[in-house]
Copies of this chain bind each other. A is one copy, B any other.
Amino acid sequence: MSVRLRPIQALRLWQEVGLSMVRRHAVDLTQRQMVILLTIYLEPPPHTVRGLAAKLGVTKPVITRALDAMGELDLVSRRRDPADRRNVIIQRTVRGSLFLDEFSDRVVEAAGALAP
């Protein structure tokens, strides 16, 4: 079933989650990087640079650089497609899964604590 949320609750949810992220001085991803990470983990593989660029409506260098940054943090990994060596397959990592698990827990918790 869908989730019923009122506008004021939506804003409070965003504030609460953002606040906890900022305060923890944790991994600080760009909005684009976050969307890329979520797409990789939520949608069925395989994921390629051009596919992600098309989905987000941004240029390929944006994806490449985001993958560089997140690869440095071990949130995603890349490897060449053996079938077509022009392609790069973007893969999930244990650390990336853990990061999103913790993130979603934080969102769920904040949602549960919302005032009526």
Contacts and interface: CB of A to CB of B under 8 A. Distances in A.
A16 to B, nearest CB: 9
Interface size class of A (residues with CB under 8 A): 35 or more
Contacts of A100: 11
A78 interface: no
B21 A31 contact: yes
Given A7-B101, A11-B42, A18-B32, 8 more contacts: A4-B111, A5-B111, A6-B108, A7-B104, A10-B103, A10-B108, A12-B42, A25-B57
Interface of A: 1-15, 18-19, 21-23, 25, 28, 31-32, 34-35, 38-39, 41-42, 55-58, 100-101, 103-105, 107-108, 111-114, 116
